[in-house]
């Protein structure tokens, strides 16, 4: 039970524990024993809730000491939880509650604890990146690709999705969230905004994953901690050993030029890894001491070459995923589900999980409507229209 929460309720409504115990029909020593053991007898829970006006499921969970959802955010500027606009926090909370109610998580505490224990207080970002790679089964020289690691990450209790924040009302005109992490004990939900390019989303997604894997998650994030996480993220996405293998001339002390990179198939490499970007490679090489920001090669990668890259990969993931739609329009939403989600479940796992939860009854039409800002009556119709198709897909899986 949550002693602080209950004591404040008792003080506000009964002034003293003695008065509350009398109203409840028990002795003060008995009540004191409850607080000492931090347990309300199951036979008295409903009565306690009634006397203390504890009505909502959230307040009941708090009173009983059940794990609560916690959030951390990544945006265009540093944000801590209490700086996030209430409207955004409310929408994030509604969505997260629905997702965690689906029961998709496995018990992963041992795997995550073992990883965090090995990392401990190590503050060498290369060593930490190596430990993470070992636990995830990635070779030192292989760039980190969240898409191929989805199954492994779920073993650690980490579920990741790329979704249009605008459609879920996670953004406002003044506040632009890039990513968020919701967690309940050892269960983590990481969401990234799909309105940006693949390389940008990959960096933010990996950044949030590293926060979880190192245990540096939740609460206020200081600049020093963020810089440390960024260095680990950079080493995972742009491994130094990988870059030196692809561009061996970096080991030499001779002058590094754009021509040398082009001779070693720089553009082909960038295009073969959609989450690689010239700007990202340039920054990684600067942080490792192979380039300086005034070098011709850096200016070329960061400027002209990155502009060329954006011509090929500049579309946002919302555009690629055909997610630039109005989710509040039930007709448009149904067309999206039928035309995209049900024909490619692997590409839209979150939407399929939500629809599956709606059809199976794990999500009520009212809760489903709240996260998409729809009319609950329209959701009822959506459920009726798509039940047969989704149940057929579930049987085939």
Read off the CATH number of the domain in which 14 is found: 1.10.260
DSSP 25: T
Q: Are 369 and 381 in contact (CB under 8 A)?
A: no
The verdict on 74 and 198 lying in the same domain is yes
Q: Are 387 and 380 in contact (CB under 8 A)?
A: no
Output the CA–CA distances (angstroms, integers) from residue 28 to 2, 42, 66, in the order listed: 18, 18, 25
Q: Average pLDDT for residues 146-164, to the nearest whole number?
A: 86
Last residue of a domain, one of 38, 63, 88: 63
Tell me, what's the pLDDT at 310? Answer: 84
Helix-helix angle 125-136:223-237, to 10 degrees: 50
The verdict on 225 and 303 lying in the same domain is no
Say how many domains are in the chain.
4
The verdict on 179 and 162 lying in the same domain is yes
d(CA 274, CA 257): 23
Q: Residue 97 pLDDT more than 70?
A: yes
Q: Are 13 and 55 in contact (CB under 8 A)?
A: no
d(CA 206, CA 280): 14
Q: Residue 312 pLDDT more than 80?
A: no
The verdict on 222 and 78 lying in the same domain is yes
Give percent of the chain above pLDDT 90. 39
Q: Within a domain: residue 316?
A: no
Q: Within a domain: residue 319?
A: no
Output the CA–CA distances (angstroms, integers) from residue 301 to 158, 240, 295, in the order listed: 34, 17, 10
The mean pLDDT of the chain is 86
Domain extent at residue 392: 325-396
Q: Residue 149 pLDDT more than 50?
A: yes
Tell me, what's the pLDDT at 128? Answer: 94
pLDDT interval class at 81 (50, 70, 90): very low
134 phi/psi in degrees, rounded to 5:
-60, -45
Its pTM stands at 0.81
Tell me, what's the pLDDT at 300? Answer: 95
Tell me, what's the pLDDT at 176? Answer: 77
Q: Within a domain: residue 256?
A: yes
Q: Are 334 and 358 in contact (CB under 8 A)?
A: no
* 3 state DSSP class of 160: strand
Tokens of 227: 């810089």
d(CA 137, CA 261): 30
The verdict on 93 and 138 lying in the same domain is yes
Tell me, what's the pLDDT at 82? Answer: 46
The verdict on 112 and 128 lying in the same domain is yes
Last residue of a domain, one of 211, 237, 263: 237
The verdict on 7 and 102 lying in the same domain is no
**Least confident among 38-52, 169-183, 287-301, 345-359:** 169-183
* 130-133: long-range contacts, CB 8 A cutoff, minimum separation 24: 132/210, 132/213, 132/232, 132/236, 133/236
Q: Within a domain: residue 317?
A: no
Q: Within a domain: residue 318?
A: no
Q: Within a domain: residue 320?
A: no
The verdict on 258 and 121 lying in the same domain is no
Tokens of 92: 């994030």
Q: Higher model confidence: residue 397 or residue 211?
A: 211
pLDDT interval class at 80 (50, 70, 90): very low
Q: Average pLDDT for residues 114-142, to the nearest whole number?
A: 89
The verdict on 115 and 226 lying in the same domain is yes
Q: Average pLDDT for residues 288-306, to the nearest whole number?
A: 93
Q: Higher model confidence: residue 190 or residue 255?
A: 190
Q: Within a domain: residue 264?
A: yes
Q: Are 179 and 160 in contact (CB under 8 A)?
A: no
Output the CA–CA distances (angstroms, integers) from residue 191 to 72, 74, 161, in the order listed: 11, 10, 5
Q: Residue 38 pLDDT more than 80?
A: yes
Among candidate residues 274, 12, 263, 229, the one with its CA nearest the CA of residue 132? 229
Q: Residue 172 pLDDT more than 70?
A: no
Q: Average pLDDT for residues 74-81, to the nearest whole number?
A: 59
Give the pairing of strands 158-163 and 70-75.
unpaired
Last residue of a domain, one of 209, 237, 265: 237
What are 71's strand-pairing partners? 182
Burial code of 150-169, b = ≥16 C-beta within 10 A, e = fewer? eeebeebbbbbbbbbbbbbb
Tell me, what's the pLDDT at 78? Answer: 52
The verdict on 108 and 26 lying in the same domain is no
Q: Are 318 and 194 in contact (CB under 8 A)?
A: yes
Q: Within a domain: residue 224?
A: yes
Q: Residue 299 pLDDT more than 90?
A: yes
Q: Residue 252 pLDDT more than 70?
A: yes
The verdict on 332 and 371 lying in the same domain is yes
The verdict on 282 and 216 lying in the same domain is no
Q: Residue 77 pLDDT more than 70?
A: no
Tell me, what's the pLDDT at 371? Answer: 87
Q: Average pLDDT for residues 152-156, to the nearest whole number?
A: 87
Q: Higher model confidence: residue 39 or residue 262?
A: 262
């Amino acid at each position: 039970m949550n002693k602080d929460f209950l004591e404040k309720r008792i003080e506000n409504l009964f002034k003293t524990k003695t008065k509350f115990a009398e109203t409840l029909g028990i002795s003060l020593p008995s009540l004191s024993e409850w607080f000492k053991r931090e347990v309300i007898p199951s036979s008295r829970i409903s009565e306690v809730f009634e006397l203390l006006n504890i009505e909502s499921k959230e307040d009941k969970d708090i009173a009983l000491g059940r794990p609560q959802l916690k959030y951390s955010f990544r945006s265009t500027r540093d944000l801590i939880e209490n700086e996030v606009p209430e409207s955004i926090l409310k929408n994030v909370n509604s969505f997260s509650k629905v997702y965690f109610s689906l029961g998709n998580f496995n018990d992963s505490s041992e795997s995550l604890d073992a990883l965090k224990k090995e990392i401990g207080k190590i503050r060498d970002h290369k060593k930490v990146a190596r430990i993470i790679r070992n636990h995830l089964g990635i070779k030192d020289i292989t760039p980190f690709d969240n898409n191929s690691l989805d199954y492994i990450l779920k073993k650690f209790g980490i579920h990741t999705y790329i979704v249009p924040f605008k459609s879920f009302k996670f953004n406002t005109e003044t506040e632009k969230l890039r990513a968020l992490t919701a967690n309940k004990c050892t269960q983590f939900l990481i969401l990234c905004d799909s309105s940006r390019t693949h390389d940008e989303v990959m960096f933010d997604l990996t950044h949030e994953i590293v926060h979880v894997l190192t245990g540096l998650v939740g609460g206020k994030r200081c600049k020093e901690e963020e810089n440390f996480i960024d260095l680990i993220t950079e080493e995972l996405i742009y491994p130094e050993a990988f870059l030196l293998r692809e561009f061996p001339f970096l080991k030499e002390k001779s002058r590094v030029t754009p021509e040398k990179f082009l001779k070693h198939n720089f553009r082909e490499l960038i295009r073969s890894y959609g989450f690689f970007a010239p700007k990202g490679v340039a920054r990684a090489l600067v942080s490792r001491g192979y380039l300086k920001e005034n070098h011709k090669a850096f200016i070329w990668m960061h400027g002209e070459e990155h502009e060329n890259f954006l011509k090929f990969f500049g579309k946002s993931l919302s555009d690629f995923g055909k997610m630039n739609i109005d989710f509040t329009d039930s007709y448009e939403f149904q067309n999206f589900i039928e035309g995209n989600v049900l024909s490619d479940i692997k590409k839209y796992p979150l939407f399929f999980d939500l629809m599956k939860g709606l059809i199976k009854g794990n999500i009520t039409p009212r809760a489903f409507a709240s996260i998409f800002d729809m009319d609950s009556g329209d959701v009822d119709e959506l459920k009726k229209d798509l039940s047969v198709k989704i149940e057929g897909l579930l049987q085939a899986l």
